[in-house]
């Protein structure tokens, strides 16, 4: 296998190094990661300025590439032709916090994996729970197991996997659906030294509805969560209701 690795925490993040080391036994590994932290960057594409890619090295001395763009830019540039060899799987991570529920739309880790789906290349995002000390070795072992399974079985076209690994002793694996986040965001308004207002989005750490079968339930109960994702955001269940609307324009 030829695996393309990226992340949203930057080229120097320990999770990226752990991921590279865990996946090396599976085949050839190419690393292209952002030059800085892009957490919560979402699925962005840089079109208003040029992008640069420079040679770099990881902390173990392994060669890598560092990109001035976002995680999804790293994947797009690689698959559009910067990487000359065919890529079999894109893996993004290891993020030090789990990506569950609506966090998926914000997550640079997850959207990097989704960018690969646009190019018809299988993608996988890997995150772990850092409420204690992030166990990147354990999460890397899980990533290698899942990546190997993708190599053996493949993925349906248009599908990426969102893999979340809880901290501590693992009870097993659960294939899950995306859960529902509960955000407790608050607008914090302050004044700068010149009296001009500025704003922070603050509040308590979000939680989620831990219905059985969801990603939240799996993590809360000590299971690895693997959720298949797709880019089709159509609310198919709502189409029938919309067809009953009486609209006449023009």
* Tens digit of each residue's pLDDT (9 = 90 or more) over 95-115: 999 999 999 999 999 999 999
pLDDT band at 135 (very low <50, low <70, confident <90, very high): confident
Give Cα 151 to chain centroid, integer Å: 19
Q: Cα–Cα distance between 45 and 63 in angstroms, integer?
A: 25
203 pLDDT band (50/70/90 cuts)?
confident
Give the 3-state secondary structure percentages of the chain, helix then strand then coil, rounded to 5.
30, 30, 40
Distance in angstroms (rounded) separating the CA atoms of residues 91 and 204: 30
Q: What per-residue confidence (pLDDT) applies to 183?
A: 87
What is the band of 140 on the pLDDT scale with cuts at 50, 70, 90? very high
Report pLDDT for 132: 61
Compute, in degrees rounded to 10, the torsion defined by CA atoms 72, 73, 74, 79: 90
Quote the pLDDT of residue 240. Answer: 85
User: Residue 238 and residue 250: Cα distance in Å, rounded?
Assistant: 24
For residues 212 and 223, give the distance between their C-alpha atoms in angstroms, rounded to a whole number: 12
Q: Which token pair is 57?
A: 């090295």
Contact 64, 85 (CB under 8 A): no
Domains and CATH numbers, the chain: 2-179+210-243 (3.40.1210.10)
- Residue 133's pLDDT is what? 66
Judge residue 2's burial from the number of C-beta atoms within 10 Å of its C-beta, 0-12 exposed, 13-18 middle, 19 or more buried: middle
pLDDT tens for each residue of 170-202: 999 999 999 999 888 899 999 999 999 999 988
pLDDT band at 222 (very low <50, low <70, confident <90, very high): very high
* Res. 57 pLDDT band, cuts 50 70 90: very high
Of the pLDDT bands very low, low, confident and very high (cuts 50, 70, 90), residue 206 is: confident
Instruction: Provide the phi-psi class of 154: left if phi over 0, else alpha when psi is between -120 and 50, else beta.
Output: left
Q: What is the mean pLDDT of residues 134-156?
A: 95
| Average pLDDT of the residues of the chain | 94
Task: Provide the whole-model pTM.
Answer: 0.93
Distance, CA of 185 to CA of 2 (rounded, Å): 41
Tally of helices (H runs) and strands (E runs) in the chain: 7, 11
Q: Which helix or strand (DSSP H or E) is residue 199 part of? A: strand 197-209
pLDDT-derived band at 150, boundaries 50, 70, 90: very high
DSSP-assigned letter for residue 97:
S
What is the rounded average pLDDT of the residues 34-60? 94
């Amino acid at each position: 296998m030829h695996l393309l690795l990226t992340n949203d925490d930057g080229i120097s993040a320990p999770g990226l190094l752990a991921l590279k080391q865990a996946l090396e036994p599976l085949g050839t590994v190419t690393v292209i990661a952002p030059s800085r932290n892009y957490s919560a960057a979402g699925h962005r594409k840089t079109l208003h300025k040029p992008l640069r890619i420079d040679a770099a090295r990881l902390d173990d001395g392994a060669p890598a590439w560092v990109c001035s763009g976002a995680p999804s830019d790293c994947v797009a540039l690689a698959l559009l032709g910067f990487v000359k060899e065919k890529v079999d799987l894109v893996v993004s991570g290891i993020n030090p916090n789990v990506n569950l529920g609506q966090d998926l739309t914000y997550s640079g880790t997850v959207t990097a994996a989704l960018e690969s789906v646009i190019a018809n290349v299988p993608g996988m995002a890997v995150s772990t729970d850092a409420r204690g000390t992030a166990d990147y070795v354990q999460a890397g072992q899980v990533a290698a197991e899942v990546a190997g399974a993708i190599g053996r079985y493949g993925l349906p076209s248009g599908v990426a996997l969102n893999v979340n690994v809880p901290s501590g002793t693992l009870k097993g694996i659960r294939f899950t659906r995306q859960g529902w986040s509960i955000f407790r965001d608050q607008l914090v308004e302050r004044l700068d030294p010149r009296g001009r207002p500025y704003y922070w989005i603050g509040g308590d750490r979000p939680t989620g509805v831990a219905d059985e079968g969801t990603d939240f339930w799996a993590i809360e109960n000590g299971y690895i969560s693997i959720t298949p994702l797709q880019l089709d955001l159509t609310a198919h269940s709502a189409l029938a209701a919309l067809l009953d609307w009486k609209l006449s324009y023009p």
